[in-house]
Structure formats: structure tokens, C-alpha cells
Amino acid sequence: MLHVERLTRRFPNGVVALDGIDLSVGEGEIVSVLGTSGCGKSTLLRLLMGLDAPSAGRVTVDGVPVTGPVPSVGVIFQEPRLMPWLSVADNVRFGIAKLDRTEREARLAEALELVGLTEFADAYPRELSGGMAQRVAIARALVRRPSILLLDEPFSALDNFTRIALQDHLLRIWAAQRITMVFVTHDIEEALTLGDRVIVMRGSPGRIHREILPGPRPRLRNTLAFHTLKDEVATALNLFEDAGGI
């Protein structure tokens, strides 16, 4: 479905952000891309979105090269980026304005139900909590019925309790829709909770260092097996050595 072949991004100042990335994401799969700041994961996501062009290599969706934004690919950013003068419903409707009214309202109702915000359709962004605002952003992406969803650290600005709740909520949406997802994060626990695979990136330049398979769901965060996985990922990220062996 989504394929990355020998992807390289060199900026005009000579900095190589990515070097020779190969990655395939299958239909209905969640792939977590994990790395510390500066490893190139956000650059990779921009290339997957079609918002930037590679210096070498290519990205394809269903065999078609990505040269710009792709209608079948939805994006959720770090911030909700809601329009404050529009209600929740109108923010979600915004991307499907060209559809006929019956189809538009059916999709709106479906998307709001998926994120649990049906009762807040007439509310405005100023009346929402941070977690609710991000759920509106998720609904806005889902209402277009994408086959692939790209998520750029969408829960990073939220408190820990809200973040965990939204991770679980996202998994429920995935179980219902089976949308292919690429989830970029710098949070080890988040990557392990969500991903069928965890792609560990290190830089510079950004390269895939290791792929880790967390195993079957559900994954309980308070188990010994989960904490063992966290240690394995931390080792792959070189966190222990960077901390002076502590």
C-alpha cells in the first residue's frame, strides 16, 4: 500500500536529514515511527504527505509516486488547528464541502460518533478541552474516509492521562475502520501501545536502526513484558549510553 524506497533528503545547506530509508506499510497496519528529536522522523512524514520532495528515492501509494498531497491520505498534526469561528461540526465538514448534503451529513455523523463527540457538534473550539479538540482533528481527517492516516505526534501536547485515553480511543477507531496508519512519536510507551511494528530511527543522518515487533494486542502497560519491551526500545535508541549508563 505505502512504500518508501531508498528515500534521501538533503537540504540546500548540505544537511542530510534522511539517508536511504526503505519502508513498506501494509493494508490495515499501524506502524509506529519512533526516534529522538533530530532523527528525521518529521522530515520522513512530510515526504509521505507529499509536502516535500525527496533528493533521491521515492514514495508510492498503491504503486503511484507521491508528488504532492494525496486525496486518499489523511493527516493529523501535533496541534488540532481548528478554525475558532466554526463549530465542531463545521470544522469536521470543512474538508468535504463539495459532497452533496446527504452524503456530507452522513459522513459527519459517522465521524463524530467514531470520536465520541456527537453531543458536541454545535460547540466551538474555545469550549473544548485539549483532548476533545484533538478528537475533532481526528474526526476531520476520518470524515474524508482516507485509506492511510499519517499522524505527527498528535498527542504530544496533552497530559499523560489524556494521552493514554486517546491512544486507547485511536485503537478502537482502528479496530472499527482498519485504516492503515503511520504514527510518528518520540514516546516509547506510545509507540509500543499503538504499533504493529515499531520502526526505531537514529540520526544524523536519519536512518532506520531497528524494527521491533511488540506482539499481539491487547498490550497492558503495567506488565513485565511491556516494561521489557520498553528497555529493548530504549537500548535501540541508545538512550542508556547517552545517559552515561544510568
- Amino acid 242: pLDDT: 53
What one-letter code names the amino acid at 76? I
Cell match 537514529: residue? 202
| Arithmetic mean of pLDDT over the chain | 92
C-alpha span between 123 and 91 (Å, rounded): 10
Over residues 165-169, mean pLDDT? 93
Model confidence, pTM? 0.91
- Amino acid 241: pLDDT: 58
C-alpha span between 172 and 62 (Å, rounded): 25
| pLDDT of 221 over the 50 cut | yes
- Amino acid 49: pLDDT: 93
| CATH classification (class only), 1-72+148-154+174-246 | alpha beta
Cell match 456527537: residue? 118
